[in-house]
């Protein structure tokens, strides 16, 4: 029976990995690192190729939760959260994530697990078992700042003796950007009625894209925002009264804030039930200090303000912070359609024109990068 202990250890053994599957990459400084190649893609050395070959034909169930994510993006953390939600208790999960992972456990082993199963993997979504789509399984996908991923992945390779990593982090970083570290290059609540509320015409700025098309933004302290915020409310943010048990949740728009807000509220409530309260009622851009002061603790305070523009008391009170990240390309697509739907942005831009404004940091705050 294949288990994580049998397949991937830190002792330098390559187990069922053939020498023909090992490839040595050389960084721009002439230093080398070894990878295992499987179907033309780079993997951490040490996987059992016989187990990997079984993935295509893995038997899925309709209630399986399929969780494919790039390594070092927080898969252990998310696995624990999902298992807690399924169990209905915020208790440490005793089962090691690797025992539910396609690269480690065979079909026979995973078939013994009760439903619903949380099946995790570092395979690409496009390389999922054939039945995953047929059975319409639920899918969870993690994203993390690629820079943090690169740092974590580098130290993993350094710790793995059989990767024989000679690279400095700088050398590894260039391999990471070229897609030679794992898989491939790492990429892969406003009113819509047209009213500008208390937004002055002096706060509105028209940006022109490279094709001569225009789009309107609201400017606040030199940064771009979606038109329609009440500047009087925004001015209050600096002096917003925080509590030590507040959960502060600042994220760039369209990165999955609604979804994360729901999960956090479910965890606090201890029940996997839909949250009736609209996220905007807990959002600094919409709700005043007086309104939010009536909420019971712990409060989930969300915002699209930058973390550097948080209320002064956030750091003093040592509040917990959650920050979302999403593939910037997906963010750009979602943000573009939001601006098209908002009549008062008067967006004439095509997506291509909007994309260049997005890259220049002229679409929301000072950009996602």
* 207 and 236 belong to one structural domain: no
* 220 and 346 belong to one structural domain: yes
Predicted local confidence at residue 181, as pLDDT: 67
* 116 and 210 belong to one structural domain: no
Is 367 a domain residue?
Answer: no
pTM strictly above 0.85: no
Is 236 a domain residue?
Answer: yes
* 313 and 208 belong to one structural domain: no
* 39 and 137 belong to one structural domain: yes
Looking at 177, 210, 245, the residue that finishes a domain is 177
Predicted local confidence at residue 17, as pLDDT: 53
Is 190 a domain residue?
Answer: no
* 20 and 167 belong to one structural domain: yes
Is 31 a domain residue?
Answer: yes
Predicted local confidence at residue 280, as pLDDT: 76
* 295 and 345 belong to one structural domain: no
Domain count, the chain: 3
Predicted local confidence at residue 194, as pLDDT: 38
Residuewise pLDDT in 10s, the chain (369 residues):
333 333 333 333 444 556 668 889 999 899 999 988 888 888 887 778 888 888 889 999 999 999 998 888 888 889 889 989 998 888 877 777 778 888 888 888 889 999 999 999 988 888 889 999 899 999 998 888 888 888 889 888 888 877 899 999 999 988 888 877 654 333 332 333 334 444 555 688 899 999 999 999 888 888 888 877 778 888 888 899 999 999 999 989 889 888 888 899 889 988 887 776 777 778 888 888 888 888 899 999 999 988 888 999 998 999 999 998 899 999 999 999 888 887 778 899 999 999 999 998 888 777 776
Per-residue 3-state assignment (H helix, E strand, C coil) for the chain:
CCCHHHHCCCCCCCCCCCHHHEEEEECCCCCEEEEEEECCEEECCCCCHHHHHCHHHCCCCCCCEEEECCCCCCHHHHHHHHHHHHHCCCCCCCCCHHHHECCCCCHHHHCCCCCCCEEEECCCHHHCCHHHHHCCCEECCCCCCHHHHHHHHHHHHHHCHHHCCCCCHHHHHHHHHCCCCCECCCCCCCCCCCCCCCCCHHHEEEEECCCCCEEEEEEECCEEECCCCCHHHHCCHHHCCCCCCCEEEECCCCCCHHHHHHHHHHHHHCCCCCCCCCHHHHECCCCCHHHHCCCCCCCEEEECCCHHHCCHHHHHCCCEECCCCCCHHHHHHHHHHHHHHCHHHCCCCCHHHHHHHHHCCCCCECCCC
- Name the residue range of residue 244's domain: 232-321
Predicted local confidence at residue 59, as pLDDT: 93
Is 95 a domain residue?
Answer: yes
Predicted local confidence at residue 300, as pLDDT: 93
* 271 and 286 belong to one structural domain: yes
Looking at 108, 143, 177, the residue that finishes a domain is 177
Is 183 a domain residue?
Answer: no
* 166 and 212 belong to one structural domain: no
């Amino acid at each position: 029976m294949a288990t994580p202990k049998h397949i991937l250890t830190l002792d330098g053994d390559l187990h069922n990995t053939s020498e023909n599957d090992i490839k040595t990459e050389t960084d721009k400084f002439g230093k080398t690192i070894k990878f295992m190649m499987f179907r033309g893609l780079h993997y951490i050395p040490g996987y059992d190729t016989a187990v990997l070959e079984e993935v295509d034909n893995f038997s899925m169930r309709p209630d399986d939760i399929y969780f494919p994510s790039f390594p070092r993006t927080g898969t252990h953390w998310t696995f624990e959260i999902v298992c807690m939600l399924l169990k209905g208790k915020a208790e440490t999960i005793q089962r090691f994530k690797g025992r539910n992972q396609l690269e480690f456990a065979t079909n026979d082993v995973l078939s013994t697990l009760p439903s619903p199963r949380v099946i995790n993997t570092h395979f690409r979504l496009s390389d999922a078992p054939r039945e995953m789509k047929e059975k319409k399984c639920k899918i969870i996908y993690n994203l993390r700042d690629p820079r943090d991923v690169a740092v974590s992945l580098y130290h993993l390779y350094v710790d793995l003796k059989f990767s024989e990593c000679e690279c400095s982090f700088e050398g590894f970083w260039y391999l990471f950007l070229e897609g030679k570290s794992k898989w491939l290059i790492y990429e892969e609540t406003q009113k819509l009625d047209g009213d500008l509320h208390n937004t002055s015409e002096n706060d509105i700025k028209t940006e022109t894209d490279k094709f001569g098309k225009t789009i309107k933004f609201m400017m606040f302290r030199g940064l771009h925002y979606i038109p329609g915020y009440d500047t009087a409310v925004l001015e209050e943010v600096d002096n917003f009264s925080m509590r030590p048990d507040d959960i502060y949740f600042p994220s760039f728009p369209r990165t999955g804030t609604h979804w994360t807000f729901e999960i956090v509220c479910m965890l606090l409530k201890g029940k996997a039930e839909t949250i009736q309260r609209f996220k905007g009622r807990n959002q600094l851009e919409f709700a005043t200090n007086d309104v939010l002061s009536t909420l019971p603790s712990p409060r989930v305070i969300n915002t699209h303000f930058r973390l550097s523009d948080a209320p002064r008391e956030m750091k003093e009170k040592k509040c917990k912070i959650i920050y979302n990240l999403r593939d910037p390309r997906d963010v750009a697509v979602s943000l573009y359609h939001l601006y098209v739907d908002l009549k008062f942005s008067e967006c004439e831009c095509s997506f291509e024109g909007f994309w260049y404004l997005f890259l220049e940091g002229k679409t929301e705050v000072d950009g996602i990068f």
